[in-house]
């Protein structure tokens, strides 16, 4: 494949945009470096790059594009919104309509507030939890990504339940010291942390199904135990459903496990591809938020008509019969194909999948926590990524990211992908 235009554009980008990209995950640093592919247009399950190469897309823009690129119903809603003026700075009917849709889909949302990104949504839930409880510490699970605000760019130290250390320059140690990190799916470590710090904890921040070191489900009973222990300590449970909301079912991961958090943060899918975030939860907690309460949160672009229209249209598509069954069937076909090709070639992999989202880890270990994901073979993934993109299959350039199916992928796309996977595995085994 010829990538010469992408390379030229990357050279130009390096002169103007820091690192050439506007989000570090778009760089190819984790897969050997060089120019990322510059996409030119997208439709359904496909991308075309600036050199004219066509790809089947499994990046789905890191998750929002569950109905495929340029879905006509969403495109029409955005066009209508654009023609009516994209930003008013006043309340609109669309905000009411969309808030009602979210509440109907996710019953734990007694009140909601729209913001502009997943980061903003999670950040505000943490602030509101601190305001509500009068406490400052939070617990998060190792390897879970909750956006790029200071409190959550924090990793564990070496122990099973440790006070955090900053994971990025520019984060004060004092901020990290208020964050305790424990391994996901490790109830004992969680109990240890709660025994030690429980009365200082404002909230426990949970990705109920992890999407950020691949797709990792909670062990049976884990989420319920986390809820019970957290509530016993007088702290709040926040679900970060930025990846999971409307991904596996119409609704949220909390419905998959029939368990309710106190607050939920959302983003990605609910914007239909436009910038969005939303948070919500129990009424008495949400009443902490200005203008009703003392916890301040605001936004010039929040609830803008274009994002509202796109989000509503996206959920309307997802309400159609059979959408999630179809994603699940396609996901199962892809998973099976990948597993068979790996066995044929003798390449050790393990696959985690739920509905239309999956992760292929290079190694034998079934991944249930971050340490195991970290141990998976990054060099093998980098080689695989390159072999796939050269065959027109677009994956996220990181061993930790998921493959996301859309409603527009076809069985034929899956079969083409599985053939490409087979070719890649054969080369890797040589």
Q: Bridge-partner residues for 329, per DSSP?
A: none
Q: Is 268 a catalytic residue?
A: yes
Stretch that binds ligand PLP, among 43-51, 102-110, 144-152, 316-324 (CB under 6 A): 144-152
- In the set 137, 268, 341, 399, the catalytic residue is 268
User: Residue 45 in contact with residue 56, Cβ under 8 Å?
Assistant: yes
User: How far apart are CB 404 and ligand PLP at their closest, in Å?
Assistant: 12
Residues 145, 361, 370, 400: which is the catalytic one? 145
- Nearest-angstrom CA–CA distance, 385 and 31: 7
Q: How far apart are CA 26 and CA 396, in angstroms?
A: 8
Residue 301 to residue 277: CA distance in whole angstroms: 11
Query: Which residues from 222-241 bind ligand PLP, rule CB under 6 A?
Result: 240
242 lies in the site for ligand PLP, by CB under 6 A: yes
Among 20, 44, 147, 166, binds ligand PLP (CB under 6 A): 147
Binding residues for ligand PLP, rule CB under 6 A, total 15
Supply the minimum distance, in Å, between the C-beta of residue 243 and ligand PLP. Answer: 4
Q: Which is nearer to ligand PLP, 108 or 212 (CB)?
A: 212
Contact of 372 with 350, CB cutoff 8 Å? no
Q: Between residues 68 and 118, which has the closer beta carbon with respect to ligand PLP? A: 118
Structure-block tokens of residue 176 = 């990290």
Q: Which two tokens stand for residue 388?
A: 């796939």
Q: Is 118 in the site for ligand PLP (CB under 6 A)?
A: yes
Stretch that binds ligand PLP, among 185-193, 204-212, 372-380, 384-392 (CB under 6 A): 204-212
Q: Please give the residue whose beta carbon sits closest to ligand PLP in the complex.
A: 118
Out of 49, 207, 217, 335, point to the residue binding ligand PLP (CB under 6 A).
207
Closest CA to 102 of 268, 270, 242, 244: 270
* DSSP three-state, residue 26: helix
341 an active-site residue? no
55 touches ligand PLP by CB under 6 A: no
Choice from 30, 81, 122, 382 touching ligand PLP (CB under 6 A): 122
Give 153 or 360: the residue with its C-beta nearer to ligand PLP: 153
In 3D space, the residue among 206, 232, 241 whose CA is nearest the CA of residue 109 turns out to be 241
Q: Give least dist CB 391 to ligand PLP, A.
A: 26
CB of 264 to ligand PLP, least distance (A): 11
Q: Angle at which helices 411-429 and 378-389 pack, to 10 degrees? A: 130
Residue found by looking up tokens 């796939």 in the block: 388
- Contacts of 333-340 spanning 24+ positions with Cβ under 8 A: 333/411, 333/414, 333/415, 333/418, 334/358, 334/403, 334/405, 334/414, 334/417, 334/418, 337/414, 337/415, 337/417, 337/418, 337/421, 338/418, 338/421, 340/418
Among 6, 53, 67, 117, binds ligand PLP (CB under 6 A): 117
Q: Does 143 bind ligand PLP (CB under 6 A)?
A: no
Active-site entry in 49, 186, 240, 262: 240
Cβ distance to ligand PLP smaller for residue 214 or 267: 267
Q: DSSP states of 372-416 as a string?
A: HHHHS-HHHHHHHHHHHHTTTEE--SSTTSPEE--TT--HHHHHH
Q: Residue 347: helix, strand or coil by DSSP?
A: coil
Restricting to residues 398-427, which ones interact with ligand PLP according to CB under 6 A? none
Residue 267 binding ligand PLP, by CB under 6 A:
yes
In sequence order, which residues have a C-beta less than 8 Å from that of residue 379 and are 6 or more positions away?
none
Which is closer to ligand PLP, CB of 98 or CB of 145?
A: 145
Residue 117 or residue 124: which is nearer to ligand PLP going by CB?
117
Per DSSP (E only), the strands in 148-259 are 154-155, 162-163, 165-166, 179-182, 201-206, 236-240
Residue 239 annotated to the active site: no
Question: Is residue 370 a contact point for ligand PLP (CB under 6 A)?
Answer: no
Q: Which is it for the CA torsion 109, 112, 114, 115, positive or negative?
A: negative
Among 47, 58, 62, 381, binds ligand PLP (CB under 6 A): 62
Is the Cβ of residue 118 or residue 198 nearer to ligand PLP in the bound state? 118
Helices (H) and strands (E) in the chain, counts: 14, 17
Please identify every residue annotated as catalytic: 145, 240, 268
Q: Which residues bind ligand PLP (CB under 6 A)?
A: 62, 117-119, 122, 145-147, 207, 211-212, 240, 242-243, 267
């Amino acid at each position: 494949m010829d990538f010469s235009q992408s390379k030229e554009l990357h050279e130009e980008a390096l002169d103007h945009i820091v690192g050439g990209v506007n989000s570090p995950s778009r760089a190819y640093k984790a897969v050997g470096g060089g120019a990322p592919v510059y996409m030119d247009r997208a439709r359904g399950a496909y991308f075309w790059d600036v050199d004219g190469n066509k790809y089947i897309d499994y990046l789905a823009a890191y998750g929002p594009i569950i109905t495929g690129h340029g879905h006509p119903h969403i495109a029409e809603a955005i066009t209508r919104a654009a023609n009516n003026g994209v930003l008013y700075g006043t309340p609109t009917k669309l905000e009411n309509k969309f808030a009602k849709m979210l509440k109907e889909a996710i019953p734990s949302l007694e009140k909601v507030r729209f913001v502009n990104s997943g980061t903003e949504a999670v950040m505000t839930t943490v602030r509101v939890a601190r305001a509500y409880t009068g406490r400052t510490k939070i617990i998060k699970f190792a390897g879970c990504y909750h956006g790029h605000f200071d409190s959550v760019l924090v990793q564990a130290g070496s122990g099973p339940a440790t006070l955090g250390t900053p994971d990025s320059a520019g984060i004060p140690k004092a901020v990290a010291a208020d964050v305790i990190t424990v391994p996901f799916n490790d109830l004992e470590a969680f109990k240890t942390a709660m025994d030690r710090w429980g009365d200082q904890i404002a909230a426990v921040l949970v990705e109920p199904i992890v999407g950020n070191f691949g797709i990792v489900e909670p062990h049976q009973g884990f989420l319920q135990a986390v809820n019970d222990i957290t509530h016993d300590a007088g702290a709040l449970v926040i679900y970060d459903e930025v990846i999971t909301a409307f991904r596996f079912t119409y609704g949220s991961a909390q419905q998959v496990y029939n368990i309710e958090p106190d607050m939920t943060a959302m983003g990605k899918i609910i914007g239909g591809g436009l910038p969005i975030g939303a948070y919500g939860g129990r009424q008495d907690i949400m009443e902490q938020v200005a203008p009703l309460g003392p916890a301040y949160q605001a936004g010039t672009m929040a609830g803008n008509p274009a994002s509202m229209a796109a989000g509503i249209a996206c959920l309307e598509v997802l309400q159609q019969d059979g959408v999630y069954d179809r994603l699940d069937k396609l996901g199962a076909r892809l998973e099976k194909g990948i597993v068979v090709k790996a066995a044929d070639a003798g390449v050790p992999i393990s696959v985690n999948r739920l509905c239309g989202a999956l992760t292929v880890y290079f190694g034998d270990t079934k991944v249930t926590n971050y340490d195991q994901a970290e141990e998976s073979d990054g060099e093998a993934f980098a080689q695989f990524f390159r072999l796939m993109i050269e065959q027109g299959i677009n994956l996220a350039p990181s061993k930790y990211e998921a493959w996301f199916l859309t409603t527009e992928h076809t069985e034929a796309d899956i079969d083409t992908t599985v053939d490409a996977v087979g070719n890649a595995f054969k080369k890797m085994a040589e």
